[in-house]
Chains A and B, each alone.
Chain A
Amino acid sequence: MADLRTNFAGIRSPNPFWLASAPPTDKAYNVERAFSAGWGGVVWKTLGEEGPPVVNVNGPRYGAVWGADRRLLGLNNIELITDRDLYQNLREIKQVKMKWPDRAIVVSLMVPCEEESWKAILPLVEETGADGIELNFGCPHGMSERGMGSAVGQVPEYVEMVVRWCKQYSRMPVITKLTPNITDIRKPARAARAGGTDAVSLINTINSITSVDLDLMAPSPTIDGKGTHGGYCGPAVKPIALSMVSEIARDAETYGLPISGIGGITTWRDAAEFMALGCGTVQVCTAAMTYGFKIVEEMITGLSNWMDEKGYASVDDFVGKAVRNVTDWQYLNLDYVTKAHIDQDLCIKCGRCHIACEDTSHQAITRQKDGKRHFEVMDNECVGCNLCVNVCPVDDCITMVPLAAGEVDLRTGRVVTGDYANWTTHPNNPMAAKPAVAEPAE
């Protein structure tokens, strides 16, 4: 049985599955239910400074994007930070931490960008016995209009400054949560590291309008005829999150910085993918809000079984293992040739591969053979693009098969060399380096 225990920037938890700072972690009741269900840790929903708490809208807070069968693929929200009293939150954090000492409790914080504000709240959090803090520099709606959340996260200098205060006035590990609403995610990550952060977490939600109500002629969710942009999350944002995580994981300036991965994680496999790209822990919200806390059982057993299968004894054995294989386009091997192959036994003859290829790509899939409905790849036309694989409704029916060295690519007539040759040396590249340049060493 694989060991799922994690030590993330000094914060220990029995497994890498944490709940992200969000409605599921707003109070003791929910958090205790989460711990009972098996979650390894939580990031308590963001606390603001002392005084009258923020207020939320009283109309709908969430918007959604659905896939087939109304499966929730994307969720957006316009909820603010906790609207409960600061001291009540602090009391509950302390009680829950005492009751569940083996679980990680990280407290999310968002106060104005002033030294005094941070200096005031940090000791209060520290007193609860919480394991660490997460700086909410990500929230893209509401709070950002008040100069907090993503308004801070979008300015690397502010990120560095606040992180520095937190490290100065607290002994707790600091996780800096990054907003994806920025052109280059490496900039705030580098700033956070410069400020002394112990880790980063990403992504926070993405600025979004999920839909427009065509009767009201207003964005959804609609509050008395008006709508505003909200923060987008759920399975739909996972590819964006993975890319941003990988950017930080392979950046020379942030290399080795612990990352807590967030963004559409729904299954153990999603979690493993984030971890393979360098995340020591993962944070989940939408999946829990869709299905309840019980899903963590599937995540724990799924990850554990997969690790056993692969021979990974502990999570450290595979965290970051895929980072070395994330590269720039220019270093991809242009002498690697694949062809799609359709398994005729699995094919249900829906023809989507054909029409996708015929209408929108390379006219490389037949529609009949001997007068019968039959879908087969024509190797002399196939560029190996993978579109047919992506549109096929049957798992593993279409696969991409690499040509071995010595085989002829029927499309180009060229023999596959089996060598590695990328764009940097390609004759069509006006900038090509004269001597062969291999991918730079790590």
Chain B
Amino acid sequence: MRIGIDVGGTNTDAVLMDGQRVLAKVKTPTTPDVTSGIATALCQLREDQPGAHVDAVMVGTTHFVNAVLERRDLAPTAAVRLCLPAGQALPPTVDWPDELRVTIGSHAFLAHGGREFDGRPISPLDAAELRDIGRRIGERGIRQVAVTGIFSPVRPDDEEEAARHLLDVLPEADISLSHTIGRMSLLERENATLLNACLRPLARKTIEALTRALKDLELDVPLYLTQNDGTLMSSEYAAAFPVLTFASGPTNSMRGAAFLSGLRDGMVVDIGGTTTDVGALVAGFPREASVFVKIGGVRTNFRMPDVLSLGLGGGSLVSEDGGQVGPRSVAMRLTEEALCFGGKACVATDIAVASGVAEVGTHPVSLPASRIECARQRITAMLEEAIDRMKLISGDVPLILVGGGSILVGSNLKGTAEVVRPEHSEAANAVGAAISQISGEVDRVYELTKRIREDVLDEAKAEAVAKAVSAGARVDTVEVVEVEDVPLSYLPGNATRVRVKAVGNL
């Protein structure tokens, strides 16, 4: 049996699954420390199913991407680009929204180093220059550093050496290296590396807390976090690469929605406590964004589902006249601050309670009819607009409504043929986490002197599939999802670096 947990901005959901069946589910407020919320959820699951034998805990969380979207808990971060004399025309964070750039600070350092396409140095790495940069970073009190070298996916040496020089003078720094995070295309890779770096303190804190929570409950099982593509990674890995969890929320909710509803095509709207994600299912899988995805206004080149996020959820603040709902939210303080819990803040959930469509909380809510009506119209209009934007055909499509905030909407939404609310839909995210896929990866340099490329690729694909299977994926479900080869013309023998990823169901 597996436990799937989704830690959202507002609620923590957990499900216990035995194969294809949901045995138990719980919902509890996300706590500021994350830990106690999860501990509460796990305790409740245990009370519900005392004899359950748990094999693994899989956690999906929007915690890190929410931090970027809300510009909070982001550590000041320095960008070190190994590029000079090239690379000056478009400096680090050039295409970022101003307020995010201000949050992590404008600490861009251009240094010598980096490689040409054929592996030659653009200019030699300068140890003294890098140590000086390290000292200046230290003087500003910054401990997060993102290092990006030109052509590092072809030749990572410079980034690794630069990290050593920086660590010499900044021993307590966390250094994120771009070649471990992104693919070819300097700006997008650097952006992803910077986002990763600024999230590492939060990620470390969160994952330590998670591990402790499991230990306290004497749950001695592997802890996984779910990645953007719906596959699992170890918690240690996730602490160093929080950026890889960015799209796991929508991926989990869409995969969970497909699983629970049995539908393979349609739109998925997941209304959480803080945000709403709107995406599309194509043949049972989240539709992928083409080419580039913007996260919090920052362009990256991850493989991610195409999702539109709105600042609308059960905890969204409602204005005095009801004309404005969100994007500000009481987030995890819903059960203290919302009117229906005896608090003072009027949030979207209060509108549902006051209008009689939902029973939530501990206190009755009475609001002026005009405010209720206005807010309901606003919520419907926001969703209809988002659905319309994400639709690629103009006809009506089936809509799967999931997430705890789905009580906010009725069943009539413009542009939809039917609104499906599957059983357990309020825990679709957690279900998605529990049914996460297993991947097998190959990343290796091959020589092509005596072999043809097709042979090498076929071999790498077969190996990735075999790895996925041996890691626990069912052989009939394994599919190759990524194939990339980067010719390394600096090496003799017509060498090429091949990366293949295969994924399948547990």
The answer to whether A and B belong to the same complex is no
A residues sitting closer than 8 Å to B (CB atoms) are none
